[in-house]
Every structure is written in C-alpha cells, then in structure tokens.
Structure 1
C-alpha cells in the first residue's frame, strides 16, 4: 500500500532562460513500486526522509539506502531503485533541468558519480519541496519563477545537509576564512591544519566547490570591496588590509576578478559611512531599520 501526490510543469522558452527550471514535484510514502531500470533526460533529486531500500546502477552494483538520504538521478544515466517492500519509505522528489545544473555539478552540489548521498537531516529539504508543492496550485501566475528559485534553494539546502561535510569540513573553511587576510600560502594554511596541500585542496573542493586559492581570494576581494565602498582608505592601504603587500598586484588581481579597477569600483559604489563600517552580520529577525524619532 502506498500514497502519492505529484504535479508536473512545462515551462516556456522565456522561463528556460532562467537557467534552471522545475519540471515536477512529488510527495510519496509507503511500499512504492520499483522504479526502472530507466534513463531520464533531466535531473531528479529524491529525498528519502524515512525508511530504507536499495539503489542499483547499470553495472549491477547495489547500494543500500537508509534515511535520511538523497538519490541523484542524472540525465543519460540508467537507474533502478525501490524501497524495502516490508518497510516502505517516505520520499519527496523534484524534477529540474537547465544549463545551470552543469554549474552546480562543477561546484560539487550535484554528484553523478555518487547517486546515493547520506544526509544529516532531511527536514530542511522537505520544507523547500513543500514550498514547491504549494506553488503548484492551479492558477499561480508566478509558478515557473517561484519554483525555479526554490530549486536553487533546494540544491543549496541539500549541499548543506550532506552528512559527509559536517563538521570537520566546515571547521576547515571557517579557519581559512578567519586567517584569510594573513600573508600565508596554501601550503602554510595546510600545515596549520596538519594537512598536506593536496588534502586541503580536497577538503575545500568538497566543502566549497572551489580551490583553496579561489576560496581565499573570494573572501579577500569581498572585504576589499567593503573597504573601498565604505571608507576613504587609499587603495594601497586596502590592499594591505586584505593581505597584499604589493598594491599594483592587488589592483591587477581585483580588476581581473571583478571586471573593474579598485578606483573605478569606489567611484561607482563609494558610500563613506560616518563612524566607519561594521563586520557584524545583521540579524535577519531584527534587520537594521531607520527609526522615527521617539520610536526607540
């Protein structure tokens, strides 16, 4: 015995220009029938939040699936799976397609070589899928855009929920971010963590989808933009603040990555703030607001 609810969508050409569109959503539970063997022309994320079963690849290898888990069904790759007939399982699935899926794959959010991914918690992903299900109501004029945005959110949520990235990987990334402005090489950073440079590269690639060098560069340039926009520090001083002793090298690096020179960026974005600027991230439940006199 099983129960199923699903909806499927057909986004138009204009919506496909969003880069990622939702093709369908479903919520199912119980002793669901065997799926496949079959091959699809689009991606599907299947989130198993309760129960167990199996997943079989085209070469006959079988992998046990134990909730919470994620099944990746990728285009052109045959798949074959089912819940245990005695226990069944509880699943939510989202079908999607678009060229941006290739970018998520390159960044490691989608892993065709790992069709079964253990999750630490399926709850946040189920919440996002439920949002797609609510958007599927008949007559919703924002359906395609709303579900496209939710697919992006789902991919980020699933990435964060992967059981193999917590907590050590997060700790390495946080430590790199904390030391990002120090004049340290990638080898120096690795040594501080008792790792080889190759091990550090693997950890950062798995955790952030990029190399340690790119990860550190993104943090440094982000801070440089803040200093350029919110202070009157000379470019050379900004360069030193973010870890570059050579301002000419910093300017070349900034221009190549950002697409405009530091001086030009300041001209476009500069907003000198009396009293300076803050490193504190605003509380989303209490964002900064302009209060009228007498309201505080």
Structure 2
C-alpha cells in the first residue's frame, strides 16, 4: 500500500527568465512502484526521509539508498530507482529547470556525478517542499514565482544538509574566512591548512565555485563596504583593516570589482550608526524594532 499526492505546472517563457522554475512537486510514502528505467529533460530532487531502497544509473551499478538521502535525477541521464518493497520509504520530490541550474551545478549544489547523496536530516528540505505544495493551490496567481523561489531555498537546504559538510559549511572555507584579512598568499593559506596550493584551489572550487583568491576577495570587499558605510575611517585605514597595505591598490581593486571608488561608495551608502556597529546577527524571531515608550 502507498499514498501519493503530486501536482505539475507549466511556467510561461517569461517565468523561465527568473532562472529557476518549478515543474512539479510530490509527497509520497509506502511501498511505491519502481520508477523507470527512464530519461528526463529536466532536474528532479528526490528527498528520501525514511526507509531504504536503491538507485541504478546508466552504468548499471545498483546503489543502496538509506534515509535520510537525496537522489539527483539529471537531464539526459537514464535512471531507475525504487524503495525496498518490504519497508517502503517516505519521499518528496521537486521537478525543476532553468538556466540557473548550470550555475548551481558549477557551485556544487547539484552533483551530476553523485546521484545518491547522504544527508544529515531532511527537515529544512521538506519545509521548502512544503512551501511549494502550499503554493500549488488551484488559482494561486503567484504560483510560478512562489514555487521558483522555493526551489532556490530547496537547493540551499540540500547543500547544507549534506552529510559530508558541517552545519556551517565546508571547514576549508570556514578557515579561509577566518584568516581572510591577514596578508597571506594562496600558498601561505594552503600551508596553514596542510594542503598544497593545488589541493586548496580544488577544495575552494568544489565548495564555493571560484578560486581561493576570488573567495577571499569577496569576503574582504564585503567587510570593506561595511567599514565604509558605518565608520568614518579613512580609506587607507579601511584598506589595512581588510588586509591591504597599499591603499592605492585597494582603491583600484575595489573600483574594478564594485563599480564605484571607495569614496563614492561611501557617499552613496554611508550613514552614521549612532548606536555603534554590531556584528551580532539579529534573532529572526525577535528582530530590532522601534521602541515606542510612553509620551
């Protein structure tokens, strides 16, 4: 016995320009029928929350699937899968497509070469699927945009839930972020982590989709923007705070990557922060509010 609920959509060409569109969503559990062999023209994320089963790709090798796990169905790739008939499984799936899938693949969020991905849990992923399911009510005028936005959320949730990654992300990227403002070369960063420069480049490319230099630059420029906006520090002092001893070089780099010189960026975005700049992330359940005391 099994239970199935699913809904399918046909987004317009205009909605495809958003980058990702949702083509379908489903929630199923029990001793579900075997899927395939078949080949699709779009992506599907199959999230298995409980139970076990199997997956077989084009090479014919049978891979065990034990919850919590993710099965990637990639366009143009023959596949065949199903739950163990003795136990069944709990499954949710989302069909999606769009030009942004190429970027998500480059960044490692979608993994064509690893069709079965162990997860630590599926709560966040199922929450994103639930948002798609709720948006799928008949007559919802925001259907395509709501469901497309939830696919972005789903991909992030699945990346964060990967069993080979800590809750805060890749440890190599965490270590680089911690040391980002120190004037170190890529080779020196690699040596600190007991890696060769080539191994570091491969790890960062796999985890962030860019080179170590670009990853560090993004962190440095983000912090420089905060200092320019929230303080009156001279540009030279901002440059030193984010790891550049040569303020002229920092200004050229900032201008090239941001599109504005540091001084111009400050003019556009700067504001006095009378209460002081905080590094504490606000609690989403209790965000900062305007205090309205008695008059």
Where on the TM-score scale, by shorter chain, does this alignment land: which range?
over 0.9
- The match for 1:274 is 274
- Post-superposition Cα deviations, 1:7-37, rounded to whole Å, max 9, x if no partner, equal 0011112211211111100001111111111
TM-score scaled by structure 1? 0.94
Q: Is the 8 A contact 1:224 1:239 kept in 2?
A: yes
Superposition pairs of residues 101-250 of structure 1, within 5 angstroms: 101-166=101-166, 170-250=170-250
Consecutive aligned runs of 4 or more in structure 1 exceeding 6 Å deviation: none
- 2:41 equivalent in structure 1: 41
Report how many residues are paired. Answer: 295
Cα pair distance change 1:136/1:167, threshold 3 Å: closer
Distance in 1, Cα, partners of 2:125 & 2:275: 41
Shift of 1:169: 5.7
Residues 96, 88 of structure 1: alpha-carbon distance in 2 compared, 3 angstrom cutoff: same
Q: Give SS of 1:165's match.
A: coil
Give, in whole Å, the separation in 1 of the partners of 2:168 and 2:197.
16
Q: 1:64 deviation in Å?
A: 0.9
| C-alpha distance after superposition, 1:244-294 (max 9, x if no partner) | 011121122212221222122112111122354222222222212221234
The SS at the match of 2:44 is: strand
Measured in 2, the distance between the counterparts of 1:115 and 1:253 equals 40
Show the counterpart of 2:27. 27
Q: 1:169, 1:203 within 8 Å by CA — same for their partners in 2?
A: no
> 1-side partners of 2:285 and 2:198: how far apart?
40
Are the equivalent residues in 1 in contact too, given 2:107–2:207 (CA < 8 A)? no
CA distance in 2, matches of 1:249, 1:103: 31
In structure 2, what is the equivalent of residue 53 of structure 1?
A: 53
Is the Cα contact below 8 Å between 1:169 and 1:204 reproduced in 2? Answer: no
The change in CA–CA distance for 1:224 and 1:88 in structure 2 (over 3 A counts) is same
Q: Deviations over 1:61-105 (max 9, x none)?
A: 221111111011111111111111111111100001100111101
1:93 and 1:168, CA in 2 relative to 1: closer, same or farther beyond 3 A?
closer
Q: For residues 162-187 of structure 1, what are the alpha-carbon distances to aligned partners after superposition, in whole Å with 9 as ceiling and x for unaligned?
A: 00112696433333222211111222
Match of 2:286 in 1: 286
Which consecutive residues of structure 1, in runs of 5 or more, have no partner in the other structure? none
Structure 2 spans left out of the alignment, 5+ residues: none
So what's the TM-score if we normalise by structure 2? Answer: 0.94
Q: Distance in 2 between matches of 1:138 and 1:40?
A: 26
Over aligned residues, Cα RMSD in angstroms? 1.8
